Amino acid sequence: MKKILIYDDEERFKRRLEEGLSGLSVLKHEFAISSMSEQDFEEAMNSLRYRQMELRDHGGWTDEGNPLDDIAIFVIDYDLVLNKKDPFLTGETVAYMARCFSQCGLIVAVNQYRHDFDLTLRGHPDSFADLNITDRQLNNPNLWGETVEGFHPWYWPVLPSYQQGFEKRVRDVRENLDRPVCEVLGFSPESFNVLPRSVSEFLSTKKHPSEVTFRAFVLKSGNGLRAKDASKVDDEVLARVGAVRVSKWLERLVLPEQDILVDAPHLVFRYPSLLIEDATRIATWNTTAQKVECNALNRTILEAYRLQQDYWVSRPVWFWERVRESRDILEVKEPWKMSRPDWTFCEDASRFYEEGYREFVAATESPYSRRFVRYFDGIRYSPIVRLSMRVQ
C-alpha cells in the first residue's frame, strides 16, 4: 500500500491529524496512514542534512535510504517550535529538505497560512509544499476524492490522483532537462513570451521565458534549489525539484488566470454550446466540475486544444488562445448567439449556484478576475478585502 506519513512536534495534535485521515473511508484501501515519532523525525532530518552536505561536495549522496524516500504523501505541520533539537525549525524548511534530498512524493504543509480559502486564488507558489492547507481541512473528503457538498475549493487537487501523476512529471523532466519548459508542456513559444510578468517571473532567468529549460529553472531562477545547493547537483535531484516546482507554477500562477489554460467550468461559462447534454439544467453544468476527468464537454471539438500531458495539472485544461479561435464553436463563429446562464460558478464549492453567492476579485491580470464564492459560515476567507473589491 502507499504510505501517508504525518509529523508534528505536539503529540496530541499529531494524533488528531492521524485519526482524522484514518477515518476517511476513501483512503482505507489505498493508503497506510502513520505518524513519525520525534526520534524517527530527528533521524530522518539528520539523514537529509547529511545528504545536503554530500550533494554540495560531490553532487549526490551515497546513503542507502531515508524514511521519507518511500512516502507517497508527507504531511508536515508548520509550527515546530517544540522540537528539542532545533526550536527554529519550521515545516517550510522540512518541506524544502524533503523535496530536495529525498524521494518523497507529495508534501502537504499544515497551518503555514491560517486561512481556509485564499481569495487571491494564487496560493503560495514560494512554498516547497505541493499544497498548503489548515489542519481542519486535512480530513475534508473532497481533498481525497470523495465528493461531498460543502466547502470544496476548486483550486484543491484530488491528492491521490495528483500523487499518481507525480512520477510521470518527474520522468518528463528527467528526459527533457535541457529542453525548454514550454516545449515539453506543449505551449507555443509565442504564448510563453507574452505571459503576464507576475506569472513568467517565477521561471525567470536571463533568457526569454520560452527559452528557459528545466535545468536552468532549477539552478538559476531562485525558485528551485538554493544557490549553495545548486553548485553541484545530480540530475535526479534536478528532475524531482523541477517537476514539483513547475507543476506548482502551473497550479498557483498559470491556472488562476483562466486565459492561458482554462478548465471546464470556466470554459463552459463562456461557451455553453460545448455542453453535450441539456444546458438548461444546472445539474448538467455541475458535471463539468470534475477534477479527474470531464466527460461533459464536446471532445470532438476540444481534444485538439487540450493540454495532453494532463498529469501536470490537477484537472483537465485547454489552451485558451487556441480554443477561442476555433470556428467549430458556436459562440466563436456566431458571437451574437452568446447566452449566459442564470447561475455562476463558486470557487469555494466547486459547483454552480443560481443564488446565494458573493462576488470577489482574484489577484490575476486576466480579464477574468471577477469570481464568486458561496461563502460558508465558519470558513476563514483571506484577504477579506477582496470581497468588497469590484472589477474596474
Q: Which domains are seen in the chain, by residue range?
A: 2-157 (3.40.50.2300), 168-257 (no CATH), 261-387 (no CATH)
Beta strands per DSSP E along 53-193: 73-77, 106-110, 117-118, 131-133
pLDDT attached to residue 88:
85
The whole-number average pLDDT for the span 62-90 is: 89
pLDDT attached to residue 392:
66
Whose cell is 454552480? That residue is 352
In sequence order, the β-bridge partners of residue 262 are 318
pTM for the complete prediction?
0.95
Query: Which residues 6+ apart lie within 8 Å of 88 measured at CB?
Result: none
Percent of the chain's residues with pLDDT above 70: 99
Alpha carbons 267 and 324: distance in angstroms, whole number: 10
* Model confidence band, residue 287 (pLDDT cutoffs 50, 70, 90): very high
Q: Which helix (H) or strand (E) holds 170?
A: helix 166-175
Q: Which helix (H) or strand (E) holds 373?
A: strand 370-373
pLDDT attached to residue 339:
83
According to DSSP, the β-strands at 2-7 and 73-77 are parallel
Q: What pLDDT digit, counting tens, does each position of 182-210 carry?
A: 999 999 998 888 889 999 999 987 778 89
Per-chain mean pLDDT for the chain = 94
Q: What is the secondary structure of 277-339 as a DSSP string?
A: S-TT-HHHHHTT--SS---SB-HHHHGGGB-S-GGGSSS-EEEHHHHTT-TTSHHHH-GGG--
Q: Give me the amino acid identity at 70.
A: D
Residues 120, 124, 125: CA angle, nearest 5 degrees? 115
Alpha carbons 141 and 149: distance in angstroms, whole number: 10
Q: How many CB atoms sit inside 10 A of residue 44's CB?
A: 24
57, pLDDT greater than 70: yes
261, pLDDT greater than 90: yes
pLDDT attached to residue 338:
81
The whole-number average pLDDT for the span 44-63 is: 91
Please tell me what DSSP assigns to residue 26. G
**Helix or strand or coil: residue 132?**
strand
With 0-12 CB in 10 A as exposed, 13-18 as middle and 19+ as buried, what is 193? middle
Q: What pLDDT digit, counting tens, does each position of 113-148 carry?
A: 999 999 999 989 999 999 999 999 999 999 999 999
CB 319 within 8 A of CB 191: yes
